[in-house]
Amino acid sequence: MTTSLADVAASDATLRAFLHGLPGVDRVGADQRAAMLGTRSIKTTAKAQAIDLAISMVDLTTLEGADTHGKVRAMCTKAIHPGGGAPRVAAVCVYPDLVSVAAEAVKGSGVKVASVATAFPSGRSSLEVKVSDTALAVAAGADEIDMVIDRGAFLEGDYVKVFEEIVAVKAACGAAHLKVILETGELATYDNVRRASWLAMIAGADFIKTSTGKVAPAATLPVTLIMLEAVRAFRDVTGRQVGVKPAGGIRTTKDAIKNLVLVNETAGEDWLTPDWFRLGASSLLNDLLMQREKLATGRYAGPDYFTLD
């Protein structure tokens, strides 16, 4: 990478040349490595530590048209006090119009409020609407913004448009952190996942996120592997660390632990904290709590022992 990252977005030609000059992804190799790491067995004390670490990395999420103030408040209570002495989660994630409700509910707890913005989940709106959406969420109390890129523009090769939108939304975030959702299930190839990861990071993303959770496939292990490789390489080149958030389809403790192994073996221990790795999920927390109870007591508790996420 001989081109200065400060100059790659100077024009459509330089940005395209940089992104298409990135090394290609060995699809077979990525699939095999992710599958191999997914077979690692974590047991006893290490498993208990992994479960608590995973809980602390959860972005507890509700993104449904039927979301109510009461549902959000209940989710926030669970985020702060999952039960059984488990650690609090990293954040709650809601639609922009519910940010103020969540912010009041988690005030003083250390749990962050994340908000999807920028015409989530499609990203099909004007830049003005996306920036306004972001600014309103931040003004209402959002600590983090999860924005979606314009996948149509990316797939058409209009990388400058995607870059400029990320830059504008990042500016609208102010002090809030920006997570850029690539929607990897729509990017078609692993090479595109790598290009989109670098494009988002060059534009200023604090995190890169796999998916909205509304498109399948979502957070597959090979895609997360490629994104972890990208953030590791980006830090090597720039000195700036960027986080990763797989989201969508992560439902079990086994899924969560596979992701933690992937982080440790690909990016390294520096990413094994909630500051740099998150798990976007709505149903994962209950399974983590059930497995935690099993390790502590030797007995499985049924799902009816835990509140709905």
The pLDDT tens digits for 144-194 are: 999 999 999 999 999 999 999 999 999 999 999 999 999 999 999 999 999
Question: Are 150 and 124 a contacting pair, CB within 8 Å?
Answer: yes
- Which residue out of 209, 255, 258, 287 is catalytically annotated? 209
User: What's the pLDDT score for residue 2?
Assistant: 39
* Reported confidence tier of residue 41, pLDDT bands at 50, 70, 90: confident
CA distances from 176 to 30, 144, 146, 209, 235 (A): 33, 5, 10, 16, 21
Question: By percentage, how much of the chain surpasses pLDDT 90?
Answer: 88
The residue-averaged pLDDT of 117-139 equals 95
Question: Are 304 and 289 a contacting pair, CB within 8 Å?
Answer: no
- Known catalytic residue: 209? yes
CA distances from 302 to 89, 244, 299, 306 (A): 21, 31, 10, 8
Q: Which of 250, 240, 246, 247 is closest to 270 using CA atoms? A: 240
- Which residue out of 143, 146, 150, 287 is catalytically annotated? 146
- Which residue out of 78, 179, 245, 258 is catalytically annotated? 245
133, pLDDT greater than 50: yes
Quote the pTM value.
Answer: 0.95
Q: What is the pLDDT of residues 55-99, one digit of tens each?
A: 999 999 999 999 999 999 999 999 999 998 999 999 999 999 999
210, pLDDT greater than 70: yes
Q: Which residue has the higher pLDDT, 233 or 303?
A: 233
